[in-house]
Amino acid sequence: MIDAKDSPSTRPYLIRGLYEWCTDNGFTPFIAVLVDETVRVPNEYVKDGEIVLNISFDATSALKLGNDYIEFKGRFGGVARDILVPVNRVLAIYARENGQGMAFPLLASSESGVAPTAEVQPVTLTTVPSEKPDVVAPDGGPRPNGGGRPSLTRIK
């Protein structure tokens, strides 16, 4: 019998499932990543040790959602870059349009093989007000929920 601590992680399967849910429903899948030396992303876009990446079909090329890594080519400031994110560094996957998705705890060093760079803290997805006060729905009426954009907020 396999002990729970020895069983494979469910995280890559949940990421793939939520990615599929987003794309099937016309949403844009975003991932929030806690950056360390194992994450290959453009450092100039990292803020407070984290980066949010659009992993939609339109924003990526050669996307691979593997059990150990998420790999793709993405454009940053018009320049194509190779992106490599260990699955254990993904903090959340969510739909840009409504913030629905799932947040994950950072795995302890014994589980991830990588020393954590931050305390393990719960996260929640929230909607922040739009910076554009004149946002309207496609039919010309006001957009529901004020047209806010989802963001990742740490709860301490």
| pLDDT digits (tens), the chain, 156 positions | 566 666 788 999 999 999 999 999 999 999 999 999 999 999 999 999 999 999 999 999 999 999 999 999 999 999 999 999 999 999 999 999 999 999 998 765 434 444 444 444 445 555 555 454 444 444 444 444 445 556 555 554
Between CA 85 and CA 58 the distance in angstroms is 19
Model pTM above 0.85: no
Residues shown for the chain: 156
What is the third-level CATH fold of 4-154?
Answer: SH3 type barrels. (2.30.30)
What does the pLDDT read at residue 1? 57
* Cβ–Cβ under 8 Å, residues 97 and 30: no
What does the pLDDT read at residue 128? 54
Q: How many CA atoms lie less than 13 Å away from 137 in the CB half-sphere?
A: 7
Distances (CA, A) of 128 to 79, 125, 138: 29, 10, 20
